[in-house]
Structure 1
Amino acid sequence: MATREELYLPDDCWESIFKIFLNDCDNNRCFLPSLSVVSKQFLSVTDSCKLSLTISDQTLPLLPRLFQRFTKLTSLDLTGITGDQDALLTQISCFPLQVKSLSVSSNDQWTIPANGLRIFSQKITTLTSLVCSNIFLISKPDLYLVADSFPLLEELELAIKVDSYDDSEMCGITLALPKLRKVNLSGSYHIYDSSLLHLCKNCEFLEEVVMFHCKNLTAIGIASAIRERPNLRSFSITLSEAMNIGMEMNDSLRSMKRLS
């Protein structure tokens, strides 16, 4: 009869097994809580499999314990926080996390938590995805802060309702984020044809663009931008009644080799 020691599997083996289950279940982690009650070892292993955490006002007092328990978190969602997100981001930066995806919200502050993001970026340098939702206003300094603080960004979602800026500024921002693959600037009042052109021209890995309700874009400008980046997989815009969809636009769309 085999002894307990002979039947024992180390944590890394169980973690690999659990990850196979996750892959087979389309990364559905709903079964992890059930596994965690089987044994103390399974509890430890399932903790290491948890990669995302949604933080709410109710969980704030528990954050230190949560970060000590879930040491491999790569995705944080702060959009449910109604309080000071600058202070929260500062607190999070004190933990040795390898965060790759971060979602924040302006709530009643109207703009992004700039000070918190600055401190966060100084301690956590692994971020590749940033989503800023419910943003009413993003100033030019804040826009440059995002570009300068997170040079590894591959996915960016912002609402840029700023004062009008010139082409050199948009050119500089896109040059500072050369790894961008997915961009969502929906609702931005000051996105013009030239802004879209700089984005497509300077970001060679760009695959997906979402610009709903960007009223200053024209069919000719969109067509010109698409020709700069024919490997786009997806291009989503709001077509206005004033936008004349002609042959140039149709030809540009047909040139997108990977369009889905």
Structure 2
Amino acid sequence: MEDYNMDSFTTIMDLPDDCLVFIFKRLINECDREAFGLTCSRWLDIRNQNQLSLRFDCSLTCFKNPLSRAPHRIGTYELHRVLKRFQNIRSLSLSGCTELPDSSLKLLECLGSRLRALYLDCCWQITDEGLRFVASGCQLLKFISLYRCDITDVGLEILAKSCLDLEDVNLTHCMHITDHGIKCLVQNCIHLYGIRISNCGGIMGVGFRGCSQTFAYLEAESCRFESEGIKGMVSGGGLEYLNISNLNWSIRGHGLSTIGEGYAKNLRVLNMRLCRMVRDESIAVIATGCPSLVEWHLALCPEIRVNGWESIAMNCHNLERLHVNRCRNLCERGLLALKNGCRKLSVLYISGCPQISIIALELFRLARGDIIKEEESFEIGPHWECRWNQRIFLE
């Protein structure tokens, strides 16, 4: 029987580090990545050096991450341990760490230089002092989420003047932020792409005046904008997605017409759901001045009448998705105009319109195909949502 020399065999342990890195980066499942690091100290080092994102399992987070088996209460010690271990991470999520103090973020001054994305959602103890540490140590930051954080314009100004590469900022439910903080962002962060300011009652919109052409995404549900604020939001000319649903009634008459007065020619998705005071005159100006509109949400806008619907049919040549649920003044004449116009329309969400008969709906189907969806859709611009949520900046 032939003898085999075991020394002549090559095993996986003989692979060079770059090959092991190649293997690790193609492990999508987090359990597999954890098992990779448990093989031996060498493989653990490779995993630690190539781990690009980290998320803690905290009491308010919905997802479980096997890589971070940390206690529910994250403190300075636990954070220091993981930051020292994973020194090349680009995305760090501390969302749900409700008891994390400002002092813990001081670690980012020396360990946050590689971070591109930072999530601090529901970190209720984080204040302007914590943002000072972030601004000092994370100057290459591109995305930050501060949902429900107790910050003010002071902290936002410090952040904006240090993190000049910021592109996406989430300020949803940050009740102490005003137009001054927004102004600091748009003036200092010239690459700013998107902002979320839903339920920020202190923002009137004027802080957006002079925003750059890169500013394309604004989520501003349940805000209290003024007419000048609306003009400020679209003043950069690059806005492509705008959500002003459930707009406070402070804007009356033709206040929303400013959207269509020449600044929003690139606007593709517009959500005006529950804007109860919008009328035909404003609809006509927007329909004429926003020729790129692909999706328009007008559900629960009761004051739009025949002239408004006819303006949409006549001018919105690129419109593909239209939401008209529970528009009580949409009549059969208005539906007829939509049927004969909007030749690219592929989805019409319509229900709860008392002036529209079943016969009128069937005639619409016969003429345009089965594009009617009778259930109300609360999703608008899903491709934009995906674009926002996937900007993790791990490059």
Do these two structures clear the TM 0.5 threshold for a shared fold by scoring above it? yes
Trace 1:191-230 onto structure 2 (pairs within 5 A): 191-230=304-343
- Partner in structure 1 of residue 368 of structure 2: 256
Identity %: 15
Pair 1:129 & 2:241 matched: yes
Deviations 1:167-200 (A, max 9, x none): xx53332110000111112221211132122113
Unaligned runs of 5+ in 2: 1-13, 29-51, 56-66, 68-81, 92-113, 118-139, 195-215, 374-395
Query: 1:103 and 1:239, CA in 2 relative to 1: closer, same or farther beyond 3 A?
Result: same
Structure 2 counterparts to residues 129-168 of structure 1, below 5 A? 129-137=241-249, 138-148=251-261, 149-158=263-272, 159-162=274-277, 165-166=280-281
After superposition, the C-alpha distances for 1:106-149 in whole angstroms (9 at most, x for unaligned) are 45xxx425444444444x44220111133242324431222234
- Counterpart in 2 of 1:89? 182
**Which residue of structure 1 lines up, in the alignment, with residue 150 of structure 2?**
58
1:84-123 CA deviation, whole Å, 9 max, x = no partner? 643343233212113321111445xxx425444444444x
For 2:193, the equivalent position in structure 1 comes to: 98
Q: Which runs of 4+ in 1 moved over 6 A?
A: 1-4
- Is 1:193–1:221's contact at 8 Å kept on the other side of the alignment? yes
Superposition deviation, residue 241 in structure 1: 4.5
Which AA in structure 2 matches 1:39?
A: Q
Report which stretch shifted further, 191-200 or 249-258: 249-258
CA distance in 2: counterparts of 1:186 and 1:135, whole angstroms = 13
- Worse overlay, 46-55 or 91-100: 46-55
- Give the match for residue 346 of structure 2: 233
* Maintained 8 Å contact 1:127/1:150: yes
TM-score, length-scaled by structure 2: 0.48
Change (3 A) 1:200 1:140: same
SS at 2:54 equivalent: helix
Structure-2 residue corresponding to 1:112 = 225
1:186, 1:211 within 8 Å by CA — same for their partners in 2? yes
Match of 2:54 in 1: 33
From 132, 155, 174, the equivalent of 2:287 is 174
Is 1:73–2:167 an aligned residue pair?
yes
Question: Which AA in structure 2 matches 1:231?
Answer: K
More helix, by proportion: 1
TM-score, normalising length: structure 1? 0.69
Equivalent residues of 2:270, 2:296 under 8 A apart = yes
Which structure has the larger Rg?
Answer: 2
RMSD of aligned C-alpha atoms?
3.9
Residues 130, 156 of structure 1: 8 Å contact kept:
yes
Q: What is the count of residue pairs matched by the alignment?
A: 233
Give the Cα–Cα distance (whole angstroms) in 1 for the partners of residues 237 and 295 of structure 2: 19
